Structure 1
Amino acid sequence: MLALLTLLAAPAAPAATLVTPSGDAVPENLLRIGLHLDAPLSAALDMVRVTLFDDNGAVIEHAFLDLPLASADGKSVTLLLDPGRIKTGVGPNVALGPALRAGQGVRLRVDDPQLGHAVEKRWRVESSLRSRIEPQHWTVRLAKRGSRQALRIGFPTALDGDAAPLLALQGPDGRRLAGSARLADGEREWRFTPASAWRPGTYLLRIHPRLEDPQGNRLCSAFEQAGQSAQQCGEEGRREFIIE
């Protein structure tokens, strides 16, 4: 009976609810993969149980750094692909080549027992994305005044899976607009639903300097830009729009 009670009281395994990038394709220079969990892990993710396979089912060796990064609340874990294999001309890139190769397919498998079940995700690999993030290339799909429709901001390429809180709206009164935000469409769209109906006026989308895409490209620089690692992005991005 005691064993049964202990079993019933055991917390549910923190199964991964989402792997990002969640779309069907990733660029050859993908740097980060995110596991988004229902609950924090009890210990660091075991990177021995994290594997990338190619189209033929062969293991892609030395693809990851042995450095899983947990978020502050423990409910997301970032897997880092070896940046030395991504940056052109760096030793591992020259010796081993990139872990991902455009035109091929890859399969991620994570079978750490802490997850409760194996997690898998497949992608096709496309050409590298080596440009900084350009908010002026984003599209804005306006909501109707007087409604609580979601405002939709579209991106040419996916953002990081944890990027939703790094965008905020300033209303016509100059204050931050209350509401809920989430990423959709393979992290290629930001959807914001206001707490109250949209009012007419000028709105400002404010973009935190820490915003990145899964390749490590930022607002102020691309991942492969000379001196990027030492460069501090200090200025936020902005996009203004009007609801009439």
Structure 2
Amino acid sequence: MRLYRLVLGAAFALALPQADARPVEVPVVTVRPSTAVVPANMLRLSLEFATAPEGPVLPRVALSRADGSELREPFLAQELWSPDGRILTVLLHPGRVKSGLVAREALGPILVPGDDVVLTLDGRPLKRWHVGPTDLHGPVESAWHVSSVRPATRQPLVVRLDAPVDGRDTGYIAIADADDRPVDGHAELRDGESTWTFTPDAPWRAGRYRLMVRGTLEDPAGNRLNGHFETPLDTPDAPAMDAAVAFDINPIPAVLPSPRTSR
């Protein structure tokens, strides 16, 4: 009986999954910013996974120079996850992004114009960026271009932004009709987050519409629609102010029969 118990116990132990200190690999679907060039004062980036990964991810993420040397303490030690647990937003340490702060004076800026940096996960490269100049401007909705669409169709509306915005801010732009009712549909950010497209659930109707923009819409450097991340320390933050861009969908002109010529 004792031998039977020993054999049974050994078989049960073999059936248990073996402990593995390595995290289960989950493919990364998208890295944002998706552009090839990022500003020297980039504030945030995001990783979208195929499925929700298990355990902390930030310790596995690194930012390196092109020669492979890792940048020192580039991230804020905080993981910001989407509700479904698939998208991780990582903040570059704000104390080193904004000038005049103690961390920046002690450690220096994280990104330097002209450098090339590589984002890695578990030592494997995910995204390579060239570092461009500092961006101090932020989105300007009056400079956006709204495409024309035909009524009675579900033709996508295309909005060309003046510069890339945060890749997580797709829902910060919406459309309202002339009665201020929201227009239902599907929105996407494309072309390096510099183009916003919207496909309505129902065909467009002719009339006046408004592109509604939340004041908290930001670019990758943390500049808001009506405010800048890089402001003097003694200057209070300006309140976020929503904006609207009006556009019209014109009715299809009637096609009149051509007059008959008399003989």
Give TM-score, length-normalised by structure 2.
Answer: 0.80
Identity %: 35
Structure 1 equivalent of residue 36 of structure 2: 24
CA RMSD between the two structures: 2.5
Structure 1 pair 96/227, CA: closer, same or farther in 2 (3 Å)?
Answer: closer
Structure 1 pair 229/146, CA: closer, same or farther in 2 (3 Å)?
Answer: farther
User: How big is each residue's C-alpha offset from its partner over 1:122-181, in whole Å with a ceiling of 9 and x where there is no partner?
Assistant: 011100111232211212122222221111111222111111111110023431101100
Structure 1 pair 228/68, CA: closer, same or farther in 2 (3 Å)?
Answer: farther
Structure 1 pair 144/228, CA: closer, same or farther in 2 (3 Å)?
Answer: farther
Structural mapping, 1:1-244, within 5 Å: 14-45=26-57, 47-111=58-122, 118=124, 120-226=126-232, 231=237, 233-244=239-250
Structure 1 pair 149/84, CA: closer, same or farther in 2 (3 Å)?
Answer: same
1:199 Cα offset (Å) = 1.4
Structure 1: any 5+ residue segments left out of the alignment? 5-11, 113-117
Structure 1 pair 229/108, CA: closer, same or farther in 2 (3 Å)?
Answer: farther
Give TM-score, length-normalised by structure 1.
Answer: 0.86
8 Å contact kept, 2:41–2:135: yes
> Structure 1: which amino acid aligns with 2:95?
G
Structure 1 pair 104/127, CA: closer, same or farther in 2 (3 Å)?
Answer: same
Aligned length: 232
1:209 Cα offset (Å) = 2.5
Q: Which has the larger radius of gyration?
A: 2
SS at match of 1:22: coil
Structure 1 pair 171/229, CA: closer, same or farther in 2 (3 Å)?
Answer: farther
8 Å contact kept, 2:118–2:125: no
CA distance in 1, matches of 2:128, 2:159: 26
SS at match of 2:239: coil
User: How big is each residue's C-alpha offset from its partner over 1:56-91, in whole Å with a ceiling of 9 and x where there is no partner?
Assistant: 221111111221211222221111111111111222
Structure 1 pair 48/229, CA: closer, same or farther in 2 (3 Å)?
Answer: farther
> Structure 1: which amino acid aligns with 2:221?
Q
CA distance in 2, matches of 1:55, 1:72: 34
CA distance in 1, matches of 2:137, 2:108: 20
